[in-house]
Amino acid sequence: MSRWKELPDSLDDAGRQLIVQLRRLKDRSGLSLASLQSKTGYSRSSWERYLNGKALPPRQAVEELARVVGAEPTRLLVLHEVAEETWQKDAGVTEAAEAPAPKGVRRWVLIGVLTTAVLGALLVGLLLTAPWKGGGKSPAGARPSVAVSPDPDATFAYKPGKTYPCAVKRERGRLYAGYSTTRTAVLSQPGWDVVEAQCLLRHRGFDPGGADGVYGENTTRAVKRLQDKAGLPPDGIVGPHTWQVLRR
């Protein structure tokens, strides 16, 4: 097990939880940073920055890490979306989506790219009128943070039959339970989107049974009752219009 450095104090809760979960996946896989470079295409130095909270990993890097270690990426990507919206500029260098480093690239090219990223981040920092304050309100115009997993130690792989806790919160006028941020997915297959919908149904007083991520008869009946009350066609299918009702 690696002995990781302490994460920056300026890192907010969403970013901290994302990095902690990426570290766990890396440690459980037994892969070194050099191995991650060869298997994901992102350089060793990039992974060092990502896993020490110095830079927000691109979405593609998160997907690649999940693929390499055989983990379900859904929860990781939800955390990444939240972290991307609330990532603090003073937590370190924030990189734009970095393309995978080509094999055999020359050292001086990598140095040039990193130098450009650092200078760009410094320029952005000079233009900011005020720093983001951890735990306080977001700056004017900032997008809201979304409720994250109620259990930071939960595994990322969705397990049918397991009942998940529901902790619904309102963010900028919309409700979130922390399992998905979708507002358009048409539900049919078991998974995190279904858990999210089940939690929101229960919050609104339409009991779907346990929040187990299985779109069964109880969930279908609860969806129909919600749709009927909202004036929607009671077809029992959660799609964009039903999500709009669940989120508001």
CATH number where 243 lies? 1.10.101.10
Domain contains 162? no
Helices (H), 135-216: 192-203
Which band of pLDDT confidence, cut at 50, 70 and 90, is reported for residue 117? low
Same domain, 28 and 118: yes
The answer to the question of residue 163 being in a domain is no
Distance, CA of 148 to CA of 13 (rounded, Å): 9
So what's the pLDDT on residue 201?
95
Q: Which residues pair with 176 in a beta bridge?
A: 169
Residues 30 and 121 in one domain: yes
Count the domains in the chain: 2
Of 74-88, 115-129, 167-181, 202-216, the range with the lowest mean pLDDT is: 115-129
pLDDT of residue 176: 95
The CATH number for 115's domain is 1.10.260.40
Q: What is the pLDDT of residue 139?
A: 37
120 and 178 together in one domain: no
- Say what the pLDDT of residue 2 is: 55
Is 211 inside any structural domain? yes
> Is 217 or 99 the better-scoring residue by pLDDT?
217
Do 43 and 115 reside in the same domain of the chain?
yes
| pTM reported for the whole predicted model | 0.42
**Which stretches within the chain are classed as H helix?**
13-29, 33-40, 44-51, 59-69, 74-86, 107-127, 192-203, 217-230, 240-247
Whether residue 204 lies inside any domain: the answer is yes
Eight-class DSSP state of 91: G
pLDDT of residue 111: 58
Residue 239: domain span: 169-247
180 shares a domain with 110 = no
Tell me, what's the pLDDT at 210? 87
Q: Is 82 inside any structural domain?
A: yes
At residue 197, the pLDDT reads 95
